[in-house]
């Protein structure tokens, strides 16, 4: 059985990134072979790529980035960007601006703002008759084409790498992580995760945020945890 791929659902901390860096020389990029070379690291995030590059210089340490909450794949090794959905309609963006939706961010596919604008966003989608959905991430309000989420983005990345979700360890902390955590062989909620995430996870770490991720990586590296 291939060793597990690791999924990070948010911007990793320096601690957890050091764990990735220490493991990478021993784990070559994943090629689905049945040995240690099958380990790989993925970052699954709601952030836009331009935003991610500003806050995470170590993006190249990952084999793939599932960005924009599942709407965009980025392959650091080749700098390739793969859109998994349509660009947001210009009329939709204009309508949100006219309705004074504040802190509006537009990505390649995703449109994002913050609570309490979810009602205005939903009314705009309805008024324009668009096939769009709202996904919440704590206080963040994200708009994507219907059917797109972190799980569909992850599946697209794994299919390209010829991997199964049954060889994946996933980490999450918010409601938008549940979709992809539910398809992982081992779902991990870090200590600061929302109660609903902890309830559905297979494993709850003692550490919060990146410390929780590093906690599980340590056990994987020492073969104390298997899936």
How far, CA to CA in Å, does 9 sit from each of 66, 146, 224?
9, 21, 23
Q: Is the pLDDT at 93 greater than 90, yes or no?
A: yes
Q: What is the per-residue pLDDT for 58?
A: 85
CB 62 within 8 A of CB 74: no
Domains in the chain: ranges and CATH: 5-84+148-221 (3.40.50.1000), 90-145 (3.90.1070)
Cα separation of 86 and 172, whole Å?
A: 26
| pLDDT one-digit tens code per residue, 153-212 | 999 999 998 888 888 889 999 999 999 999 998 899 999 999 999 999 999 999 988 888
Count of beta carbons in the 10 Å neighbourhood of residue 148 = 24
Q: Is the pLDDT at 13 greater than 80, yes or no?
A: no
Count of beta carbons in the 10 Å neighbourhood of residue 177 = 29
What pTM was computed for the model?
A: 0.83
């Amino acid at each position: 059985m291939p060793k597990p791929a690791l999924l990070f659902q948010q911007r990793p901390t320096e601690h957890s990134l050091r764990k990735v860096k220490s493991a990478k020389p021993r784990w070559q990029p994943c090629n689905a072979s049945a040995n240690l070379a099958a380990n790989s690291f993925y970052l699954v995030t709601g952030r836009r790529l331009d935003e991610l590059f500003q806050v995470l210089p170590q993006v190249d340490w990952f084999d793939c980035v599932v960005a924009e909450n599942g709407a965009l794949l980025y392959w650091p090794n080749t700098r390739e960007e793969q859109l998994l959905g349509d660009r947001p309609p210009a009329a939709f963006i204009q309508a949100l601006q006219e309705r004074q939706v504040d802190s509006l961010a537009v990505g390649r596919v995703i449109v994002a703002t913050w609570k309490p604008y979810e009602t205005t966003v939903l009314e705009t989608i309805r008024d324009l008759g668009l096939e769009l959905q709202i996904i919440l991430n704590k206080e963040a309000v994200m708009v994507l084409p219907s059917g797109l989420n972190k799980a569909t983005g992850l599946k697209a990345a794994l299919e390209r790498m010829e991997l199964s979700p049954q060889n994946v360890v996933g980490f999450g902390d918010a409601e938008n992580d549940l979709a992809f955590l539910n398809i992982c062989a081992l779902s991990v909620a870090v200590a600061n995760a929302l109660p609903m995430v902890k309830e559905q996870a297979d494993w709850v770490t003692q550490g919060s945020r990146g410390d929780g991720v590093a906690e599980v990586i340590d056990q994987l590296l020492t073969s104390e945890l298997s899936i």
